Chains A and B, each alone.
Chain A
Amino acid sequence: MVKNMTNENKNRLVAGIVLLIAVLIPLVLDKPYYIHVLTMCLLWAYLASAWNIVGGFAGQLSLGHGIYTSVGAYVTVILFNEFGLSPLLGMFFGAGAAVLVSLIIGLPTFGLRGAYYALSTVAISEGLVVLYENTMTIGGLRLGGAEGLIVKLIGDAPLHLQFTSKIPYYYIALVMLLLIIGLSKWITKSRLGYYLVALREDEDGARALGIDVRRTKLIAGALSAFCAAIGGIFYAMLIRYLEPQAIAGAAMSTQMVFLAIVGGAGTVMGPVIGGILLALISEIIRFYLGGYVMGLHLFIYGLIVVLMIIYKPGGIIEVVEHYYRRLMNFRDREVASGAGDSSGS
């Protein structure tokens, strides 16, 4: 029966099945620890996808996306802690602030090319971490400095995004991931997506074809910052604690980049698959090995990442796609449309 379906319908069928499994998992695996791990997998897939908009499609190697997760999270949490503003509303201020910051950073840095842009994002985000660590209050609002900021606990309050159970967080993360996959798909099919890939491949060539390169980068940067900020806000509500290194530091910034690149930067599903798979692997090896030798799990994780980059520079997505096509008996040369789909190697 499957044989007579078009590729697109096969894709829909598979997507439906995967989604159904994702929806049902919490009913089967009901230990909070498992749910938490799965929620983090979805969140990392989401964050990698957020980075992918500017880092993958537009090819601007931002190593400082912790800036946006942290600005979003801090603004939202401060509004909640100090004024009792629900994060459901506060997140628009948080994400809005992140967009503003992305524009302020983007205006001078998007003129830079290659390594210079990457370096400037590192410098700015590292500076920001130091600022967080050394600021106890801003104009009377508590920021918490290096000891971090605790999100006020008010118990089960869905309207304030607080739940005593882990399960609602899982579903929120799932919806967020679905939304960003939809956004990525839309980008690849729209003019914006074509423009981003074009300027990634050749800036002067793009300019000559009528593309305002800086403006296009700013738009991608702002979209990416908005999404990353929402992810940071969700993280804050899930963990209920903001620590500068964790939300803004190199660990956050580089993790997004790793997951997206190892998964397949510049594709819609690469960062999603990379995020879920690597976050899962990293948690499993931490669970089994973390107790024996300190840091061994990180070493092994690093090794996997290095091997992937050496042997599959196009990302896990290439391997997955290859076997998926074979498994599903895809009709050849029914070429997928959309700029970002041509992942190539």
Chain B
Amino acid sequence: MVQETVLDLRDLTINFGGLVAVDSLNMTVKKGEAVGLIGPNGAGKTTVFNLISGFYKPTRGDVVFMNEKITGLAPYDVCRKGIGRTFQIVKPFGKMTVLENVMVGGFSRTRNPQECRQIAAEVVEMVGLGSKKDALAKNLTIGDRKRLEVAKALATRPEILLLDEVLAGLNPTEVDESVELIKEINASGITIVMIEHVLQATMAICNRIVVLDYGKKIAEGTPAEVTQDPEVIKAYLGDEYETTVN
């Protein structure tokens, strides 16, 4: 069965001054996939998300979404096309309630407040924040803030969801719950690309993993393949470990 390509990054490159933060990245994501984007700190993972979602304009290369070039579009246009994203440093609207936060996302699909409230209520329920829907976002725990971040993006009804370290800072129970949530979202037909440091969780969710180091793709494959890859081990553990592992 030939799967439709949802996201296609072609030769994507961005320089900050002299630093090449993302270097000629080619990567495709097919519909329904869950792809993990991993790599050491500073490898350029979040920069890739910022390039896809329109927060940065690439120096070179293209972002193609559903066979349409969206390179250089503003973030709000990218969102309306169907790409949802979360932020590593969560961005709750502190003085709004949980439900109102999610409604802001919902308004990208409808102008009608009642309809929007309904969409938001469903999403809030789905991510497990139902009992806290009237709490102010600034009063949430970090775990709940991460869920809220996912809920806001989900309410924009995305085709593809970019999750930036939504598991970081959670306790083990919360990680398990969130892994189930992400699987559920994926099972509902939403394609997922996730940046994550919690590797077990990433492997539990993703069928394919892309490894970045210094802005370059150094490996790609199933979780098992990637963890055996000497390049990856070198990137994570340093040069001196290369020989011992081989």
A and B: interacting chains:
yes
Q: What residues of chain A have their CB less than 8 Å away from a CB belonging to chain B?
A: 189-191, 194-195, 197-198, 201-202, 204-213, 266, 333, 335, 339, 342-344
Complex alpha-carbon distance, A212 and B73, angstroms: 12
B53 at the interface (CB under 8 A from A): yes
CB B217 to nearest CB in A, in angstroms, measures 25
Complex alpha-carbon distance, A201 and B53, angstroms: 20
Complex alpha-carbon distance, A207 and B153, angstroms: 11
Number of A-B residue pairs with CB-CB distance less than 8 Å in the complex they form: 93
Q: Quick one: which of B91, B104, B105, B152 contacts A204, CB cutoff 8 A?
A: B91
CB B107 to nearest CB in A, in angstroms, measures 5
A210 touches B92 (CB 8 A): no
Assuming the contacts A190-B113, A204-B91, A342-B136, asked whether A209 and B105 have C-beta atoms less than 8 A apart, the reply is: yes
Complex alpha-carbon distance, A208 and B156, angstroms: 10
Of B93-101, B170-178, B186-194, B227-235, the one touching chain A:
B93-101
A209 touches B152 (CB 8 A): yes
Residues of B within 8 A of A210 (CB): 76, 79-80, 105, 107-108, 156
A197 touches B96 (CB 8 A): yes
CB B125 to nearest CB in A, in angstroms, measures 17
Complex alpha-carbon distance, A197 and B76, angstroms: 16
Q: What residues of chain B have their CB less than 8 Å away from a CB belonging to chain A?
A: 53, 55, 74-76, 79-80, 84-85, 87, 91-97, 100-101, 103-105, 107-108, 111, 113, 116, 134, 136, 138, 152-153, 155-156
Residues of A within 8 A of B55 (CB): 204, 207-208
Complex alpha-carbon distance, A213 and B79, angstroms: 13
Residues of B within 8 A of A189 (CB): 113
Residues of A within 8 A of B136 (CB): 342, 344
CB A56 to nearest CB in B, in angstroms, measures 11
B53 touches A208 (CB 8 A): yes
Instruction: Name the CB-closest residue of A to B83.
Output: A208
